[in-house]
Amino acid sequence: MVRIQAYFEYNPVRNMTYKIERTDGQPFYIVGLWDIWFDIKTGVLLPNFTMITMPPNAKISEVHDRMPAILERGDIKHWINRNLSGEERVWYLRGSPCASENLDISIYKDHRAQ
């Protein structure tokens, strides 16, 4: 799981980047998988993380065809429960998607591009 303040989504059809954040200004908790593997060529341990995505809620579907799996702060303890199987985790995410009314989407203006 990763805690973030906002994330950005690029829409190639509109050639626009959108900033997605919570309406209440609180951080997001994005669900993912992580592991550390050993690169035998370099002898270095490499941490890896992948974000889990899911079908978008109604608001995100206006700008993208998928969204990160987002948990509410109160759901974190349930998610990290070691007794849950992979299948139970998937069902949990599908059953509690992030509500559209919790998200604010704005057009992101990259000031470096000017």
Is residue 59 predicted with pLDDT exceeding 70?
yes
Backbone angles phi, psi at 23, to 5 degrees: -65, -30
**pTM, entire model:** 0.80
For the chain, give the percent of residues with pLDDT over 70: 96
In this prediction, residue 110 has a pLDDT band, given cuts at 50, 70 and 90, of low
Domain of 19? 2-113
What's the structural domain count of the chain? 1
CATH code of the domain covering residue 96: 3.90.1680.10
Neighbours of 75 (CB within 10 A): 15
Rounded distance between C-alpha atoms, residue 67 and residue 97, angstroms: 10
Exposure string over 4-36, b if 16+ CB within 10 A, otherwise e? eeebebeeeeeeeebebbbeeeeebbbbeeeee
Is residue 53 predicted with pLDDT exceeding 90?
yes
DSSP 45: E
Rounded distance between C-alpha atoms, residue 15 and residue 78, angstroms: 38
Rounded distance between C-alpha atoms, residue 32 and residue 104, angstroms: 22
For 31-57, what is the mean pLDDT? Answer: 93
In this prediction, residue 22 has a pLDDT band, given cuts at 50, 70 and 90, of very high
Span 60-98, pLDDT tens digits = 999 999 999 999 888 888 888 999 998 998 898 888 888
